Amino acid sequence: MNLATLILIGGMLHFGTLLASFTVPRVLDWRHELGKLDPLSRQLVWVHGAFLVLIIVGFGSVSVGLPNELAGGSLLARALCAFIALFWAARLIVQFFVFEPKALLRTALLKLGYNGLTAVFAYHAVVYGMAAVR
């Protein structure tokens, strides 16, 4: 499988990540938990979440729409791939060293989803990292 195909798959996985992220407010009971915050803090959580969604939509759109260009090795393509790889590598570090999800992973489906997302984050870090250093 060539790098452009791996990037195209990565683009589709970005959209899959978004589908999974729409379950977060329910699983983490944001309606109740964020209700404890002052209005500005609550709004900041939602706004930051919305901007993360936009970033992931951008990553997915560029990857699905321009996989050959991202795999082509231009300086711009390599820089964008490096940014995407670093973004997901940082997310993996948070996954392993900051989050403590065990109390919320009460069902097999939640455990599968959490571990599946971890694998997707690793995929992004590796594939886009390969494109960045190519």
The burial class, CB within 10 Å (0-12 / 13-18 / 19+), for 122 is: middle
SS3 24: helix
Query: Looking at the whole model, is its pTM more than 0.75?
Result: yes
Residues 36, 28 contacting (CB under 8 angstroms): no
Each of the 134 residues of the chain gets a pLDDT tens digit; together they read: 899 999 999 999 999 999 988 888 888 898 999 999 999 999 999 999 999 999 999 999 999 999 999 999 999 999 999 999 999 999 999 999 999 888 888 899 999 999 999 999 999 999 999 999 98
DSSP assignment of 84-95: HHHHHHHHHHHH
Locate the domains of the chain by residue range.
3-133
Residues 126, 86 contacting (CB under 8 angstroms): no
